[in-house]
Amino acid sequence: MDKREDSLPPEDVLTADGLDHDPGHPPRETETELDEDDRLKPAFVRDVIDLAEEGEVEAARERVGRLHPADIADLFELVSDEDRPLLAQVLGDLLSPDVLAEMNDYVRERLIDLLAPEQVAEIASELDTDDAVAIIEDMEEDEQQAVLRAMEPEDRAAIEDALSFPEESAGRLMQREFVAVPEHVTVGDVIDRLREDVDLATDFWEIFVVDPMHRPVGTCQLSWILRAPRSVAINDIMRREQTLIPVDMDQEEVALRFQKYALISAAVVDKAGRLVGMITVDDVVHIIQEEAGEDILRLSGAGDGDINEPIALTIRTRLSWLVVNLGTAMLAASVVGIFETAIAKYALLAVLMPIVSGMGGNAGTQTLAVTVRAIATNQLTASNTMRMILREFRIATVNGLSLGILIGAGTALIFGNPLLGAVIASAMLINNLVAGLAGILVPVTLDRFDIDPAVSSAVFVTTMTDMMGFFSFLGLAVLSGLTAMG
């Protein structure tokens, strides 16, 4: 796929400003279209839609044609659902494969639905395998088959092979277009092949060296090849140490390896150790962004958190989470019900008890966020879990004492009751300790059972802090005889 005959760029690609530009994209003469944060200006978006609605096709195309594919993708994401079909019709071939590859998943799905299978097949054939798979994988089964039937056999085979791997795995993410050479060739042989073979990948940064079984034995950066004499054997300049990615590795783990070892690209191998593809850093950047946001959104039960997500799907996701939280709130309320008589005797308890539970919930959320991130980035492992638990316990103790002293002194002064101040101070310390321990123990335990801690931890932690906050404050009030004073 993406087998363009200009696989080697021209030696000098200069524009009037004297700067190098990608020959595949126009220079970004978009000062009037973009603001200081590199975002499309609202006035520009409105102008393009107005031109499209007025039938000024050439004017609209002229304005949009100066944009980078990523900015054109942003344009489609910024306009309403109703305007996107008209915009796609007006822009025509400006809605290129590169634009679709940069586009938000939900927006792209809606636009793909407007295209015939033959059009989708043509677009996919011009993309790298990983980008083509991203377009096709979310289609309905019958639509997928229609698109695949319209593709060339070689391209179809590559897509079908990618779709055979689990979602969010290295097999789905990898490109099948890479450069591999046998270890016995010379630098001159490699250079000649790069110049003569028009079917090579368009973009690559390193060359993989393989043995007769097609297993990677080393890697060689292009800069090393360009600096070495033609007669030097490739295995004399290659680096034998390399990071290999198993084809079934989860994409989050792939991203962690790229971060840890500062990789630009990496070879992907099958179970037999044979080279089957490569993953590049530009794909990993998207994964890092997705995974970082995904955990935070899961903690809040906000689903994908995508503003382009269909409203019905957003409502269903959020409502299901809110129903679960409603159930936990009823559990906390049942604890309050146990002390109904005490509250009736001393009404101030009802005023102050939300402070204890609320502060405990905030403290637990802080610890939970840190722990989930540490698990996701492999900072928290079995080797340092106990040290992390002790660390959070010390933090919770200091914070609990500090907040307890503040709320205790304030309560005693405001209500003129030192015993009430002592009760709420003690409850604040207890609930902060519970919050700190729950914030780390809950996600760690879930992770040990292979349950995503970002999905379920928040429900358990907030339930524990609410119930313990009410129970500790009201229970201490009864035990101390405070309610008898009412």
Residue-number span of the structural domain to which 286 is assigned: 178-298
In a domain, 169, yes or no: no
CATH value at residue 61: 1.25.60.10
Same domain? 471 vs 363: yes
pLDDT one-digit tens code per residue, 25-34 = 444 444 568 8
CA distance 364 to 432: 8
Q: Is residue 20 part of a domain?
A: no
| Residue 30: inside a domain | no
273 with 320, same domain: the answer is no
Among 298, 317, 343, give the residue marking a domain's end.
Answer: 298
Instruction: Specify if 237 maps to a domain.
Output: yes
pLDDT of residue 15 exceeding 80, the answer is no
Please compute the mean of the pLDDT values over residues 353-365 and round it to a whole number.
95
* Whether residues 282 and 378 fall in one domain: no
Instruction: Tell me: do 56 and 205 sit in the same domain.
Output: no
Q: Are residues 360 and 415 in the same domain?
A: yes
Q: Domain tally for the chain?
A: 3
User: Is 69 found in the same domain as 151?
Assistant: yes
| CATH number of the domain enclosing 322 | 1.10.357.20
Task: Return the residue matching tokens 């994209």.
Answer: 25
Q: Using the predicted structure, report yes or no on whether residue 146 has a pLDDT greater than 70.
A: yes
Residue 452 contacts residue 442 (beta carbons within 8 Å): no
Q: Which of 161, 192, 217 is the last residue of a domain?
A: 161
Q: pLDDT tens-digit profile of 430-485?
A: 999 999 999 999 999 999 998 888 877 988 999 999 999 999 999 999 999 988 77
Of 251, 270, 298, the one marking the end of a domain is: 298
- Residue 248: what pLDDT? 95
Position 426 in a domain: yes
- Same domain flag for 124 and 253: no
Looking at residue 42, its pLDDT comes to 93
Rounded Cα distance, 413 and 425, in Å: 13
Q: Kindly report, residue by residue over 73-123, the tens digit of the pLDDT.
A: 999 999 998 999 999 999 988 999 999 988 988 899 889 888 889 989 999
Rounded mean pLDDT, 357-372: 94
Q: Does 196 lie in the same domain as 123?
A: no
**β-pairing, 180-182 with 206-210?**
parallel
Can you give the pLDDT at residue 31?
53
Query: Same structural domain for residues 276 and 339?
Result: no
pLDDT higher than threshold 90 for residue 40? yes
Residues 252 and 109 in one domain: no
Same domain, 75 and 139: yes
Alpha-carbon gap, residue 61 to 96, rounded angstroms: 13
CATH number at residue 199: 3.10.580.10
Adjacent-strand bridge partners of 268: 245, 277
Q: Report if residue 170 sits inside a domain.
A: no
